[in-house]
Structure 1
Amino acid sequence: MNIIFKTYICKKDKIKGFTLIELIIVIAILGILSAIVIPKYISYANSSSETACLSNRRIANSTYLMYLANGGLIIKDNYSGTSFLVNSGDLYDEVSCPSDGTFSWIVDSDGNAYISCSVHNPSKELGDIVLETMFNLFDLLKGKTDTEKATILGINNNNFSNDTYRAYILKNDFNGTWPTLSVDLPKKYEITINGSELKIMPFSNSKDLSDPVIYASTNTGNSWNSPVFYYPGKGWYIHKNSYNVYTGVTFSSYTGTDIKNLIDSKPSEWESLK
């Protein structure tokens, strides 16, 4: 759109220039144009950064798979930072997020690598990752005898429960530290407690261990109450009461399907975290 600004001549003194009213009009027009153009530019820049970030993560992940195919050992340590394997063999280089996000590399017990970014939709990805680690464990235990299951889980009894499953995943898939919910979400919704981070964790109810709840909490122990839950395929939700205050839900008797049904059946009590 081409805008032509005309310079008017005052007949009285023949001096070229804008009157006060004309200046106000020009400033108003520039303000309107800024309101239209700048957000679109920012949106475009954000979209471009997200695309570049995703591309860099795919490069790192694809090259890691090639590294395995060429006889490389599974990288069992989980990484945070911007240095990732981008060439097969022993060659390393830098891949990073254009928006200065922090990459987290999580490798499950099968050697599958998952790379998330702290800026670009990380929480949804991490919710899926934690859920996937549970499913991988169930597949690993399927068809095994109790003795074989105990050996895999590293226990000396037949306590095949939520506690032993969580302990196995925490050690073997997350290197002893549960992944953190995106720092932007707790700040935005003021749901941190004493500055603690919300950790993403699984919970399997005894009535159906294969249908886990994925939730986020500052308490990483056996406390089955939280306001924040993951709905697979949709994202994170926070529970609130009739006074619009965020409140926890006790889920010790719930499965993942139960949580989804709660969100679907009472949408007014849940807010999507975006």
Structure 2
Amino acid sequence: MSNILKRIPKNKTNKIKRKGFTLIELIIVISIIGILAVITVPKFSGVLKDAKVKADIASAKVITDATYAQIAKGLIIPGTAVTTLDITQSATGGSKTITDYLQKVPTPKATSTANFTVVINSEGDVSVNVGGDELYPTPVSTYGK
């Protein structure tokens, strides 16, 4: 047996290649992935909340445009007092006029406790609120937090 080892050149015996990773290398990689996950999960939830707020603001703009279109057609007439209309699937009256104009009745994404509400003042200016927070034309900074 020793004669066989003597015939193999020394540079060949030193270069035996090992395949795979050591346990330490695997543990280090897994710990790095864990640290990255701990950092990114809270950031992702913040981004998701911001996206829901922006979606609600966009829906409020669509509702405002629909309301102005119905005012222009004469289907909604601003009164002498402030008019408040709830935008829901089961809307009636002026709210029904707006929901019929929309292809789909939007629901707020950032909050599940309230619906969109259209407020029309005596001058015909329209604003859209959710749960008392104005979203359009000037969104409040506390909405969705």
With the shorter chain as reference, the TM-score category is 0.5 to 0.7
Deviation at 1:61, TM superposition (A): 1.0
SS of the residue corresponding to residue 101 of structure 2 reads: coil
Cross-structure match for 1:93: 103
User: Who is 1:115 aligned against?
Assistant: 128
Distance in structure 1 (CA, Å) of the matches to 2:141 and 2:115: 22
Percent of aligned pairs sharing the same letter: 23
Aligned residue-pair number: 114
TM-score, normalized by length of structure 2? 0.54
Distance 1:83 1:54, change over 3 A: farther
Equivalences for residues 1-274 of structure 1 within 5 A = 14=18, 16-19=20-23, 21-74=24-77, 76=83, 78-79=85-86, 81=88, 90-94=100-104, 95-99=106-110, 101=112, 102-110=114-122, 111-118=124-131, 123=133, 125=134
Q: In structure 2, do the counterparts of structure 1 residues 83 and 52 end up closer, same or farther at CA, with 3 Å as the change threshold?
A: farther
C-alpha deviation, 1:106, in angstroms? 4.2
Partner in structure 2 of residue 173 of structure 1: none
**1:33 partner SS:** helix
- Taking structure 1 as the reference length, the TM-score comes to 0.32
Q: Which amino acid aligns with 1:97?
A: P
**Aligned 8 A contact 1:81 1:103 in 2:** yes
After the TM superposition, which segments of 4 or more aligned residues of structure 1 sit over 4 Å from their partners? 82-85, 87-90
CA positional deviation for 1:49? 2.1
Change (3 A) 1:117 1:22: farther
CA RMSD, aligned part only? Answer: 4.0
Aligned-residue offset at 1:23: 3.2
The structure that has the greater radius of gyration is 2
Whose helix fraction is larger, Structure 1's or Structure 2's? Answer: 2
The one of the two structures with greater contact order (alpha-carbon pairs below 8 A, sep at least 6) is 2
- Distance in 2, matches of 1:234 and 1:100, equals 14
Gaps of 5+ in 1: 1-13, 127-232, 236-273
